[in-house]
Amino acid sequence: MSTELLPPVAPEVLAEAVEQLTARLRKKLDAAVAECAGRAVAGPDGTVEVRFGEDTLVTLRPGPSGAVTAPGQALCSCLLAPRCLHRAAVLGAAPLADGDAPAPDGPGPEGGHPEPSAGTDAPDPAGPGRRPGPEGEPDRERGPRVPPRARPDSGPADGLTPALTPSLTSAQTDAATALWGAAAEALAAGVTAGGTVVQAELLRAAHTARLAGLPRAEAAALRVVRGLRTAREQDRGQRLSDLTAAFRELLAGAAVLASGTAGPEAVGSVRRAYGQGGSLRVLGLCREPVLSATGYGGVTTHLLGPDGAFHTVSDVRPGGVSRAKGAGTASVALGGGVLDHAGLARGGLLIAGATVSADGRLGAGRSVRATPVRGAEWSQEPVAALFARPVREAVTAALDAAAEGRGDAGTVLLGCDVEVLGAADDHLVARVLDGGPVIRLRMAHPHPELPHAANLRRIGGFPGLALRVLGRPDPDRAATLRPLAVGPVPGASHSLRLPEEWRGRADLGYDRLQGDHFPRPERSSAGVPVTAGPDPLADAPLWRVRRLLESGVAGGRRAVAEAARGADRAALAVPLRRAGLTGAAELAEHLAAEADRRPRDSFGRLKDASSDAYARAWLASALHLDAAERSLVTASWS
């Protein structure tokens, strides 16, 4: 759909326009939205016009922010306006305006989370992290404890929940309950039936959540709506797994909020809060380019603070990959410091009056003063302790933090010394030194204009190379590390030889490794294919559950029922039980039974048209799958 000229539209404006339509017009809405492609033209005074026939003209007049934020800014010349199909179709074809999203949990493994400039309290357009954990610890036998109002009424997910103290207002619980209902209906419809009407209901509930002071829930709902739109347009950049995770996050968050017992982390915050950090000495670790699908680009510099705490300084603004490349040498806007990001990544700062957010981001308030200090090489303390920590311990801490909602796995970096074994497909295979596991090294950022891919290819040409790696563990892949920077291993003869000004490290997103940075090859095994060994995540039959859940997201409730009938249901559960995954088998069977449960009266009418029980069964299975996959990923680092 070519609708680039259409300005963003506030979710509540679209929801109100759809709500005003009659039932007959709602059935025609999706077809009318598709007709808007290529019809938008620029009008006078910054307006955008879309013509339907000879006598009907829809005019959008964006406000100062560039978005349509009020119903009066969308006008139609037909007699039925403003309750007409033309106006609702144009609003439905326009992109959604960004709401006030809560602060993120950190950049994702692909650099997909844009971050505002250091010290600003601007909302993050990407929203919260993508792997929130369920309330309560996962039960190893029966699956995770499903939050109140998100647990199936009967079946294998039943269990006791601890008594919690109510902490939300009645308006917030009512808004969360409405959001749960709208999300359940959207899940039951799936991508195939999740058209503009279904999306509008979800947007209406999201707006209600925003007015009730639930910004995290609103951001989760907007991500689901955007995912539905992208999937219906068959955009190649949309992955069904991402939309499945978005539904899981939305339903789990709404269920916890609807119980009235959620904590502040479930409510979220519109703007990132900074607390006083006093005097702080931080040392540079590396810098990382940041890219966003919404057009943001920049850099994040990772720092090490006292007691091994991670901190970041970010400079991300609209601009895409060109800005991400240039921001690597931009000045650091922090307390009048004179360093640029390249210098800070290899140096350090002594900060007076520091302000620090919960996820370690450093603020740049008026009272903050920063003085450049000499940095530390990776072979010097306290940085060297980062590479001495056992990898299993570091990965477990990162994944547990993500599961408990205390942050995303991307906020914790992992350092280790490895021996490069060679290249395999699109990644490198390496073995952690001193008896560690065999791991995979994958690109942190796949954009072709960034040097990540070229650097990894060059490293892969030197089997036996001893390498010190600092990167981000991938929470979705077995024993996979996405390196951000590399350096020589102290005392190793067959290792990197970096220039003195690089201070013993190379940022893979900015520095380019050359031939003279490598030792002479000691082995003649270059080009020999290598394998990383068994993959417990890929070998486990959990993929059957994942396929069932994704089928429900793509085709709705009917697709789940069809996929698990007759012999297909046995083919789903039997391999899971044989592998000892009885909890996953029971939850999948319960989901399939609930999807196919459509009781009717003697006149053929549905007795219970609600999708509430189906959504609970889907959520229970999704949370169990997430916990099981996380356990397998952790075990793969042993």
Encode pLDDT of 16-69 as tens digits. Answer: 999 999 999 999 999 999 988 788 899 888 899 999 988 899 999 999 888 999
Peptide bond into 95 cis (omega under 30): no
Contact, 34 vs 233, CB < 8 A? no
Dist. CA 199–CA 554, nearest whole Å:
15
Is pLDDT of 581 > 80? yes
Torsions phi, psi for 34 (to 5 deg): -65, -30
In this prediction, residue 638 carries a pLDDT of: 84
Which residues make Cβ contacts (< 8 Å) with residue 55, sequence separation at least 6? 77, 78
> What's the pLDDT tens digit per position in 289-337?
998 866 789 999 999 998 888 999 999 988 889 999 999 999 888 877 6
pLDDT at 15 over 50: yes
pLDDT of residue 522: 54
Tell me the torsion sign for CA atoms 475, 477, 532, 441.
negative
Given a cut of 80, is residue 149 above it in pLDDT?
A: no
CA distance 493 to 491: 6
**Mean pLDDT across 458-486:** 93
Mean pLDDT of the chain: 82
Span 166-194, average pLDDT = 92
Q: What percent of the chain has pLDDT over 90?
A: 55
pLDDT of residue 78: 93
pLDDT score at 99: 60
For position 53, what pLDDT does the model report? Answer: 86
More confident residue, 624 or 141: 624
Cα separation, 3 vs 8, in Å, equals 11
- The whole-number pLDDT of residue 128 equals 33
Minimum mean pLDDT among 270-274, 378-382, 627-631: which range? 270-274
Cα–Cα distance, 591 to 96 (Å, whole number): 32
More confident: 398 or 249: 249
- Answer with the residue of higher pLDDT: 145 or 492: 492
Q: Mention every residue, 6+ apart, whose C-beta is less than 8 A from residue 34.
A: 1
pTM of the complete model: 0.81
Q: In this predicted model, which residue has the larger pLDDT, 568 or 343?
A: 343
For 257-275, the pLDDT digits (tens) are: 999 887 777 887 766 667 7
pLDDT, residue 129, reads 33
Best CA proximity match to 418, nearest among 437, 394, 443: 437
pLDDT digits (tens, 9 = 90+) for 205-254: 999 999 999 999 999 999 999 999 999 887 666 789 999 999 999 999 99
